[in-house]
Amino acid sequence: MVAGYAWLIQAYALDVVLPEKLVAISHKHQRKAQESWLLLTPRHAPENTAAGHLALALRYEGVDLGVLRALFSVLPAAALEDWLLQEPTSAYARRCWFFYEWLTGNRLNIKDATTSNYVDALDPAKQYASTPIPSPRHRVRDNLPGTPAFCPLVFVTETLETYRAQNLAVSAKTLTGAVHPDVLSRAAAFLLLKDSRASFAIEGERPSHERAERWGQAIGQAGERPLTLLELERLQRLIIPDSRFVKLGLRKEGGFIGTHERETGIPMPDHISSRWQDLESLLHGLMAFDRRVNNSPLDPVIAAALLAFGFVFIHPFEDGNGRLHRYLIHHVLAERGFAPKGVVFPISAAILRNIHAYKAVLETYSRPRLPLIRWQPTARGNVEVLNDTVPLYRYFDATKMAEFLYACVQETIETILPEEIRYLERYDTLKTRIAARFDMPDYRLDLLIRFLQQNNGKLSKRKQSKEFSHLTAEEAISLERLYQEVWHG
């Protein structure tokens, strides 16, 4: 027999995204966790009422705001009021009371709680929480990371706890603190440009050097300005300097990611963006989320995943959403002091290295939501959404997004950043040792090293006969040996 959220979804015909793991009551007297199910014993079976299954869901499944919001839109308020009158001190009843008023904005006909101990809205052992704010009416501590306008959640997993235990921010600061300031400054400049180029590459673009540099400079300033709609529009103009073919600012029509049917031109969406009528509300929620978590104990990488992926799923602009989504990762990490001062983690480069996993993570959000969105094609080959979809973008499980982003942060700190530092240190060593043997201007030294790198440490006969014709054959061989010694020794 299904129980918890699964029972509520079935009993009230809720049109929602199914939770990742559901609960059922087994005939056996042994609890068992499977890939998509938690099997409880007969003694765990609740009363077949909304109250019984809500209590079980909160106890074993955590909080699913999408399911709760859909349930409270059809469940008579009297059902919750009766539960509270029968069990006024129940932590589960009071939490549901809090969630009902928080999600719907409606007030139950119940007097304020006065004697019960305070309880957390989110169980921090199950889901990552923010700074608790007491709600005296319910005697519940509101430790949700967002507001009713935008509040995705992340479950505590073994994977995320392993990443968190590594203290990657400390590792990054230790690594950069041991590097000569000049080398670190040059590495930071290169990584900034690398991240900018990678962010464009993810979108299938190859920007000019000037355009990549301009966007890199914007990334370097992430976290310095408050997140506002005007700031997002300013950043969009930096990404898209030629706006002849793009309407800048918030969309005034539907949006989707996908292709068009070849003969009819009908949209074939892989992802449908939020309705344009909901954009301002969603973005205000996004910004309130950013303010709420800025000085909270919520892990910075998890906070970045919630904000950045929430933004890209909303897809508020006609173009530039992907690059702004990755910019928001930098915004949160910089705002929270996660990255070493003056260094921008090339997160986009790590994402580009793991592009298939990135696309798979995006699909885990989009695919189960497509059947819940009713739409029709427009004359311009776009989509017009016909039903209320705003809860799909406000409340979602971002656990897989947080795990993916943490993997990228780890790769950045443990692989990409050290690689660039080692490269510059070897480069400087090789340049110094060549300069000690040959009286060569700086630009010639750089050219020589570049030629050696381009040909796996060998100076080609063509280069020896042209740009470096003054070198003897013995000197060329000695330079090749020196390169191998420094670069691979």
Say if residues 104 and 72 touch (Cβ distance below 8 Å): yes
Helical pair 181-202 and 321-335, crossing angle rounded to 10 deg: 150
Return all residues near 174 (Cβ < 8 A) that are at least 6 apart: none
Nearest alpha carbon to residue 207 among 455, 198, 383: 198
Report the b/e string of 266-282 with b at 16+ CB within 10 A: ebebebbbbbbebbeeb
pLDDT value, residue 270: 95
Which phi and psi angles does 142 have, rounded to 5°?
A: -80, 100
Q: Could you give the residue ranges of the DSSP H alpha helices within 354-472? A: 355-369, 390-394, 399-411, 417-437, 442-454, 461-465
Quote the tokens at residue 470. 């003054």
- 303, amino acid identity: A
Residue 23: what are its φ and ψ, rounded to 5°?
Answer: -115, 140
In order along its 489 residues, the chain shows pLDDT tens digits of 899 999 999 999 999 999 999 999 887 766 666 778 888 888 888 999 999 999 999 999 999 999 999 999 999 999 999 999 999 999 999 999 999 999 999 999 999 998 889 999 999 999 999 999 999 999 999 999 999 999 999 999 999 999 999 999 999 988 888 888 888 888 888 888 888 999 999 988 888 888 888 888 889 888 999 999 999 999 999 888 877 888 889 999 999 999 999 888 899 999 999 999 999 999 999 999 999 998 889 999 999 999 999 999 999 999 999 999 999 999 999 999 898 888 888 899 999 999 999 999 999 999 999 999 999 999 999 999 999 999 999 999 999 999 999 999 999 999 999 988 888 889 899 999 989 988 888 888 888 889 888 888 888 888 777 888 888 888 888 888 998 999 887
The predicted pLDDT at position 177 comes to 86
CA neighbor of 406 nearest in space, from 257, 301, 263, 277: 301
SS3 category, 200: helix
HSE value, Cβ hemisphere, 13 Å, CA-based, for 277: 7
* Paired tokens of 323: 């690059």
442: left (phi over 0), alpha (psi -120 to 50) or beta: alpha
* SS3 state of residue 268: strand
pLDDT computed for residue 242 by the predictor = 77
